[in-house]
Amino acid sequence: MSAQDPTSDVPPGRTVDPMEPSRIEVLDGRHATVGEFGVERVLPRRELRTVGAWCFADLMGPGEVTTEHGLDIGPHPHIGLQTVTWLIDGEVLHRDSLGSEQIIRPGQLNLMTAGRGVSHSEEATGRYAGPLHGVQLWVAQPDATRHGEPAFEHHAELPRVEIGSAEATILVGVFNGAASPARRDTDHVGIDLSLRSGRTTVPLDPSFEHALIPTIGTLIVDDRPIRPGQLGYLGVGRDELDIEVDGPARLLLIGGALFEHQPVMWWNYVARNRKEIVAAHESWLADDGRFGHTSSPLDRVVIDSPPW
């Protein structure tokens, strides 16, 4: 995924208090377009920049793709973040400047670590046609690794645990005694929950802040409905969460220790200040090698420099 709309950087102004966990805060996402595909961007929001180290979340679709046209996001750069790609339906081909070429399917995880710089594309597979539905999230890297080497992992199998009548798949981190094999540079967690009708009680780490991202169906939390296209922010201090649904539903639960910094984000870069972002973008525009080369039939994505 690529935050191709440079105005996606909402100004800082966190107004949601992580220490006020008494009631869920429901935030509306906003519609955006990446490649040719419509998304609902639920993080960052003006009121909420990060949930743990999670700093970006786009719901992709549901929409239809053809064998030749999918997300159609040409090579573009990243720094200072990990991309977490998770599909509910469909297939996407990932290519990157490390030479990776990986088709991802539902239930699998693509995890790309940008470090000091990487580029990638997200393409049609050449053979899959049908619905495409999923989520792409970014995790801000801590100072300890954000200037490090880029990397890519594909996990075809992830641990699953039963929680009452729900099934949890652990994308990253530890949940209910099971640990994902995915790389983790900060103390954070991401799980997919498939719910059946009724109430599910989900155990949480009270030292983390958490948020819910519904992907299918309407969830009821603290007597409030939360729907796809919204994010439910839970703050810190909860040791469990009751979720009610009146039919099959799915969501991502993300959380983590409060992030060490408020990251500065512009386009596809996560940094600590504007100078770092300008330097990265100059490298991308000059194609000076920092971001390597991604072999792709799609054109490199180029946008103007930031206005400052």
**What tokens does 80 get?**
């200072």
Residue nearer to Mn ion on the CB measure, 50 or 85: 85
Residue count at the site for Mn ion (CB under 5 A)? 2
C-alpha dihedral sign at 6, 276, 265, 267: positive
In the complex, minimum distance from the CB of residue 1 to Mn ion, in angstroms, rounded to a whole number: 5
| Residue 84 burial (C-beta neighbours within 10 Å; 0-12, 13-18, 19+) | buried
Residues 283, 106: Cα–Cα separation, whole Å: 34
Residues 221, 301: Cα–Cα separation, whole Å: 40
In the complex, minimum distance from the CB of residue 81 to Mn ion, in angstroms, rounded to a whole number: 9
Binding to Mn ion, residues 1-30 (CB under 5 A) = 1-2
Residues 137, 98: Cα–Cα separation, whole Å: 20
In the complex, minimum distance from the CB of residue 112 to Mn ion, in angstroms, rounded to a whole number: 8
The answer to whether 73 touches 60, Cβ cutoff 8 Å, is: no
Residue nearer to Mn ion on the CB measure, 82 or 169: 82
In the complex, minimum distance from the CB of residue 281 to Mn ion, in angstroms, rounded to a whole number: 15
Name residue 163's beta-bridge partners. Answer: 166
Residue 97 engages Mn ion in binding (rule: CB under 5 A): no
In the complex, minimum distance from the CB of residue 133 to Mn ion, in angstroms, rounded to a whole number: 18
In the complex, minimum distance from the CB of residue 263 to Mn ion, in angstroms, rounded to a whole number: 16
Residues 219, 109: Cα–Cα separation, whole Å: 24
* SS3 category, 281: helix
Terminal-to-terminal C-alpha distance of the chain: 24
Dihedrals φ, ψ of 253, to 5°? -110, 120
In the complex, minimum distance from the CB of residue 268 to Mn ion, in angstroms, rounded to a whole number: 6
Residue nearer to Mn ion on the CB measure, 82 or 230: 82
Residue nearer to Mn ion on the CB measure, 2 or 113: 2
Residue nearer to Mn ion on the CB measure, 1 or 212: 1
Residue nearer to Mn ion on the CB measure, 2 or 50: 2
Residue nearer to Mn ion on the CB measure, 25 or 276: 276
In the complex, minimum distance from the CB of residue 34 to Mn ion, in angstroms, rounded to a whole number: 9
Residue nearer to Mn ion on the CB measure, 1 or 216: 1
- Indicate the pairing of strand 198-203 with strand 240-245: antiparallel
Contacts with 224 (C-beta within 8 Å, 6 or more apart), sequence order: 23, 24, 26, 232
Residue nearer to Mn ion on the CB measure, 2 or 294: 2
In the complex, minimum distance from the CB of residue 113 to Mn ion, in angstroms, rounded to a whole number: 12
Closest residue to Mn ion, judged by C-beta, is 2
Tally Cβ neighbours within 10 Å of residue 300.
17
The answer to whether 31 touches 59, Cβ cutoff 8 Å, is: no
Residues 268, 245: Cα–Cα separation, whole Å: 35
CA angle 204, 45, 17 (to 5 degrees): 50
Binding site for Mn ion (CB under 5 A): 1-2
